[in-house]
Amino acid sequence: MDLQNYFTPYVIVIVAFTDNQLPKISNLPQDTVLKSASCESQFIGTCIYNWQDTMPFDNSGFVTLTSNYQSGDSFPVGVTTVTLDVFDPYNNRDVVAFKVNVTGVFAYTFCYVFFQLLEEVLEN
């Protein structure tokens, strides 16, 4: 029996793509100090901080960026670390951070609350 008539030869080529290049973030804000006298405030004792959009990029063309804070969020008194996590579909990941330091708000908040209470007492 001649088996050549029953089988068609096939060539299967498997291409494995390996991506081990870390994604990156450009336009990362620098550590920043906000003074209460010059900051926009949403709530007493906080400052709103707006920064330019960060730009994630990767050689794969697909990248996801997450962050614990967004531009325009309110930051409490003290030092807050903003962490940005960027990753691609091949599980390559890079984490970067910058600090936002809000200073001088305590005195402003204390005075504001004190004068609000004083005003209520004087009105009654």
Q: Would you state the structure tokens that stand for residue 58, as one six-digit string?
A: 């990767």
User: Which of residues 111 and 85 earns the better pLDDT score?
Assistant: 85
pLDDT at 17: 73
Count the Cβ atoms, other than its own, within 10 Å of residue 56: 20
What secondary structure letter does DSSP report for 42? S
Helix residue spans in the chain (DSSP H): 105-123
Facing residues of 75 across strands? Answer: 47
Kind of pairing, strands 74-76 and 46-48?
A: antiparallel
What pLDDT, on the 0 to 100 scale, is given for residue 84?
A: 96
Chain CA centroid to CA 30, Å: 13
Distance CA 85, CA 56 (A): 10
pLDDT tens string 29-47? 999 998 866 666 656 678 8
Q: Is 38 helix (H, G, I), strand (E, B) or coil?
A: helix
Using an 8 Å Cβ cutoff, are 79 and 99 in contact? Answer: yes
Distance CA 65, CA 85 (A): 6
76: number of Cβ within 10 Å: 13
Q: Using 50, 70 and 90 to split pLDDT, how confident is the model at 6? A: low
DSSP 9: -
Average pLDDT taken over every residue of the chain? 82
The per-residue pLDDT for range 65-80, each reduced to its tens digit, is: 999 999 999 888 889 9
CATH 2.40.128 corresponds to the domain 3-123? no
For residue 37, the Cα-to-chain-centroid distance in whole angstroms is 26
